[in-house]
Amino acid sequence: MTTEFAPPPLESTLPVGSFTAVTTRDGIPTIQVAPDALIPVMTLLRDHPDLRFTVCLDVTAADHYPRAPRFALAYHLVATDVPYTLRVKVLLDGASPEVPTVSGLWASANWQEREVWDLFGIVFTGHPTLERLLTPDDWEGHPLRKDYPVQVKVPVRTYEPLQLTEEEFRANVEADRQARRS
């Protein structure tokens, strides 16, 4: 027998006007929050005794270029006492997407925010180490932005395995040794 859990009373616990309930195709309970209300709302979601969203499972983003607002940032939270999930969305303009970090509320958000910054260029103000995570340190731009320049005229390179005889292999090793000595 399965038991259905009633959703937490968000309307009675979060400040009036701090969020909007959103209907989604996947049926995941979702609220939309303004960037300046993110920290107060997330703090209440974590600390309120009726809610207790103790886990920030995921932080991700989507680029809806050329639509405005351009970016949709999504946080997936889990209340472990009563198995319940909640998606918190924040919409951001494309000119300078910026939102406060929630890594002080959930340590798990630290690397996830770094990944979103690295790939989408969304700045998490107050983040302790907002550095590249997936791309090299000298990488320019943010590769998951829809306006990121992609070079499409480079021919595809394929390589076949190199087959060497034992004599050819020994000759190559000896040539490498000679090159290092000189």
Tell me the CATH number at 34: 3.30.460.80
Does 7 score more than 90 pLDDT? no
Lowest mean pLDDT among 25-34, 49-58, 70-79, 161-170: 161-170
Does 1 score more than 90 pLDDT? no
Centroid of chain to Cα 178:
49
% residues pLDDT > 70 (the chain):
89
Q: What is the pTM of this model?
A: 0.78
Lowest mean pLDDT among 118-122, 124-128, 132-136, 176-180: 176-180
**What was the pLDDT predicted at 146?**
93
Q: Write phi, then psi, for 152 (nearest 5 degrees).
A: -110, 0
Q: Is residue 174 included in any domain, yes or no?
A: no
Q: Which domain holds residue 17?
A: 10-149
Q: Is residue 103 included in any domain, yes or no?
A: yes
Q: Is residue 179 included in any domain, yes or no?
A: no
Number of domains in the chain: 1
Q: Is residue 91 included in any domain, yes or no?
A: yes
pLDDT in tens, 64-121: 999 999 999 999 999 988 889 999 999 999 889 999 999 999 999 999 999 999 999 9
Q: Is residue 113 included in any domain, yes or no?
A: yes
Q: Is residue 115 included in any domain, yes or no?
A: yes
**Interacting residues of 140 by C-beta distance below 8 A, sequence separation 6+:** none
Q: Is residue 170 included in any domain, yes or no?
A: no
Tokens of 32: 């939309």
- Cis, peptide link before residue 69, omega less than 30° from 0: yes
Give the three-class secondary structure for 33.
Answer: coil
